[in-house]
Amino acid sequence: NAGVTQTPKFQVLKTGQSMTLQCAQDMNHEYMSWYRQDPGMGLRLIHYSVGAGITDQGEVPNGYNVSRSTTEDFPLRLLSAAPSQTSVYFCASSDRGLNTEAFFGQGTRLTVV
């Protein structure tokens, strides 16, 4: 059972470039979310989805887009990378939203130069 799989693990982008961070889960979870983690801070929610076809904004959505065409996949797209988006990004999924444990991917370390 793979759980939550994120790709890539590391990425360097130039300012202005776009890219997509991939996230897939094989647990048939309805709820999926994307966080960013910066030094000395807790996780901050970027976007989340409560099911296929449904997405919503979190605390820090600017500069990011998401889509949820299937239950399994929840890609995060950076539209025009900025140095402020240098961070570690985590994807998570859970069975019943906030009332159950979340399963996290291993993270993507993104550097924007």
Only one of the segments 18-26, 38-46, 68-76, 79-87 lies at the binding site for other proteins (rule: CB under 8 A); that segment is 38-46
How is 80-93 classified by DSSP, letter by letter?
A: S--GGG-EEEEEEE
Bond from prior residue into 61 cis (ω within 30 degrees of 0):
no
Parallel, antiparallel or unpaired: strands 10-13 and 108-112:
parallel
Binding flag, residue 59, other proteins (CB under 8 A): yes
63 and 77 in contact (C-beta within 8 Å)? Answer: no
Spell out, one character per residue from 74 to 93, where the chain touches other proteins: x when CB under 8 A holds, - when not.
----------------x-x-
Query: Does 2 interact with other proteins (rule: CB under 8 A)?
Result: no
CB 91 within 8 A of CB 58: no
When asked if residue 44 is in the footprint of other proteins (CB under 8 A), the reply is yes
Min dist CB 21 to other proteins, Å, is 14
| 20-28, 43-51, 64-72, 75-83 -> range binding other proteins (CB under 8 A) | 43-51
Q: Is 21 helix (H, G, I), strand (E, B) or coil?
A: strand
Residues at the contact surface with other proteins, assessed by CB under 8 A: 4, 33, 35, 40-45, 48, 50, 56, 58-59, 90, 92, 97-107
